[in-house]
Amino acid sequence: MRITNLIIAFSVSLICSRSVAQSEQVTKYRKFAVYAGAGPSYFFNNLIIEKNSVNSFNYAISARFMWEPQHSFVSLGFETGYNRLYTNNVSLPTNAHISNSIVPILFVVSMKFSKKVYANWSMGQGILYNKVDASGINGNFNAHNVSLADFSATVGYRFIQKERISYAAELKGYYSSSYANTTIAILFIVGFRL
């Protein structure tokens, strides 16, 4: 009788330990994640010359690499992307197409308020690209400048979150201190846990 109870107890403990090990294996936490997305943006027009002919509606692209430790509501990472600030078509003194864009390189601090709502604060540098395609003049004019103090704030909502993939929508504000350029964008984000 004692041997039978011992065999039953051993079998039950073996089955329980096996099921716990399998459940831990299935829910392995992945602390690194990559997020990428794109969406429309609006440039707050601060130009003086040709202010009324500027196209302020453009697009923004964003990519983030994040370290998200388990049981923590704060995560850290890096962000880059491409923001088309504005475009302009000029006809005098010659026909020209002007586009102004910025590539941010930012350090990101992210905070989760719930499983679905989060906010990001980013700061760093940006590389500003100004491109002029002119007809009737020899060559095009391209210039770039480095903005040393750029800031970004984001509020996001994850509407689908699976074990490794998530989908979110973000409202992102971006400020570049070099020429006081400000944009706001609505981004649709796909996340993948590595």
CA proximity to 122, closest of 158, 156, 154, 145: 154
> Can you give the pLDDT at residue 49?
73
> Can you give the pLDDT at residue 51?
76
> Can you give the pLDDT at residue 14?
60
Using the predicted structure, report yes or no on whether residue 25 has a pLDDT greater than 70: no
- Work out the average pLDDT over 59-63: 97
Indicate which CATH number applies to the domain containing 83: 2.40.160.20
In which band, very low, low, confident or very high, does the pLDDT at 12 lie, cut at 50, 70 and 90? low
Tell me, yes or no, whether 16 and 67 share the same domain: no
Tell me, yes or no, whether 13 and 80 share the same domain: no
Average pLDDT, the chain: 87
- Work out the average pLDDT over 144-157: 95
CB 159 within 8 Å of CB 168: yes
Tell me, yes or no, whether 20 and 36 share the same domain: no
CB 35 within 8 Å of CB 63: yes
Tell me, yes or no, whether 64 and 139 share the same domain: yes
Total residues found in the chain within this entry: 194
Q: Report pLDDT digits (tens) over 120-133.
A: 999 999 999 999 88
Tell me, yes or no, whether 2 and 76 share the same domain: no
Tell me, yes or no, whether 4 and 92 share the same domain: no
In which band, very low, low, confident or very high, does the pLDDT at 23 lie, cut at 50, 70 and 90? very low
Using the predicted structure, report yes or no on whether residue 44 has a pLDDT greater than 50: yes
Tell me, yes or no, whether 47 and 135 share the same domain: yes
> Can you give the pLDDT at residue 83?
96
The structural domain count of the chain equals: 2
Tell me, yes or no, whether 69 and 7 share the same domain: no
Tell me, yes or no, whether 51 and 16 share the same domain: no
Enter the DSSP assignment of 180. Answer: T
Instruction: Report residue 19 CA to chain centroid gap.
Output: 38
> Can you give the pLDDT at residue 91?
76
Tell me, yes or no, whether 20 and 35 share the same domain: no
Domain assignment of residue 8, given as a range: 1-26
pTM: 0.81
Tell me, yes or no, whether 41 and 136 share the same domain: yes
Using the predicted structure, report yes or no on whether residue 185 has a pLDDT greater than 80: yes
Using the predicted structure, report yes or no on whether residue 157 has a pLDDT greater than 80: yes
Tell me, yes or no, whether 91 and 3 share the same domain: no
